Amino acid sequence: MTRTVLQLFDLKGKTALVTGGSRGLGLQLAHALGEAGARIMLTSRKAADLEEATAQLQGAGIDARWVAADCADEADIVRLVDETLQRMGDIDILVNNAGAAWGAPAEDHPVSAWDKVMNLNIRGYFLLSQQVGKRSMIARKQGRIINLASIAGLGGNPPEMQTIAYNTSKGAVVNFTRALACEWGRYGITVNAICPGFFPSKMTRGTLENLGEDALISRAPLRRLGDDEDLKGITLLYASDAGKHITGQWLAVDGGVSIVTGG
């Protein structure tokens, strides 16, 4: 029998692991999945932040727990998957969101900063996907992987935004998404990416201050920045059976910034 729309979007009985989930976009994504019925395991580096975010989710009636881990560290990634499997069982949905940024002119960009951004923003995505795939999704022939990229990964930036490592890493996330989708489609695993534009957050605070919020808004056809609801719909589509025939894709959620010629 053909399911209804509400049935297709229902995540009851599913478990989601969300990295970088203690604030900002990661916490918004965790809310979306939890509001649809999924159990949530949050992770980031700081226990205090995770406790606060988990309490917020639980206050909204969501079954949420946390594990502190550094997703740039391979041993921590293995431990994170160990604890999630032990405490919550199989992982149905993986959200790779933990990320870092660094601003510096390309000619003076510290190599150590380049490595920090790359290790978290793309190497960490690969290592965690590998662990979750091998230990939970592949054998069961099912799973949803959602990678947070960025419109910064779709091209260059205005000259005043000197974030070459971040842009490069997010471009890598887009093609990592495509490549993994091709390999793991035979296992019933979908792999998709979200490319947000500017959302107010701790990571974007410096950019918003330097360039000016009004200037950034003026570049967007919708004349607004992203808010605490704008990623929920695409997250739920990618995570649920409503999106079961979508894989290897990315979608910009940016108020139209990425479609503006020369934008």
pLDDT digits (tens, 9 = 90+) for 72-119: 999 999 999 999 999 999 999 999 999 999 999 999 999 999 999 999
Q: Residue 199 and residue 223: Cα distance in Å, rounded?
A: 13
Tell me the mean pLDDT in the region 35-57: 98
Q: Which is more confident, 216 or 205?
A: 216
Q: Which of 80, 61, 36 is nearest to 242 (CA)?
A: 36
* Residue 106 to residue 121: CA distance in whole angstroms: 18
Lowest mean pLDDT among 29-38, 90-99, 253-262: 253-262
Mean pLDDT value across residues 4-27: 97
What is the three-state SS of 66-84?
EEECCCCCHHHHHHHHHHH
What structural domains does the chain harbor?
5-254 (3.40.50.720)
% of residues, the chain, pLDDT over 70: 95
pLDDT of residue 204: 66
Match 């205005």 to its residue by tokens.
158
- Whole-angstrom distance, CA of residue 199 vs CA of residue 224: 10
Q: How far is CA 151 from CA 38, 80, 174, 253, in A?
A: 28, 29, 10, 8
Helices vs strands, H then E, count in the chain: 10, 7
Q: Can you tell me the distance from the alpha carbon of 189 to that of 177, in angstroms, rounded to the nearest whole number?
A: 12
Q: Which residues are the active-site residues?
A: 166
The reported pLDDT for the residue numbered 263 is: 47
pTM of the full structure: 0.95
Mean pLDDT of 17-32: 97
**Which comes out higher in pLDDT, residue 219 or 40?**
40
Q: With 60 as the cut, is the pLDDT of residue 62 above it?
A: yes
Q: Are the C-beta atoms of 17 and 41 separated by less than 8 Å?
A: yes
How confident is the model over 210-229, as pLDDT tens digits? Answer: 667 888 898 899 999 999 99
Report the pLDDT value the prediction gives residue 39, as an integer from 0 to 100. 98
Q: What number of residues does the chain have? A: 263
Q: How much is the average pLDDT of 151-169?
A: 90
pLDDT tens track for 244-255: 999 999 999 999
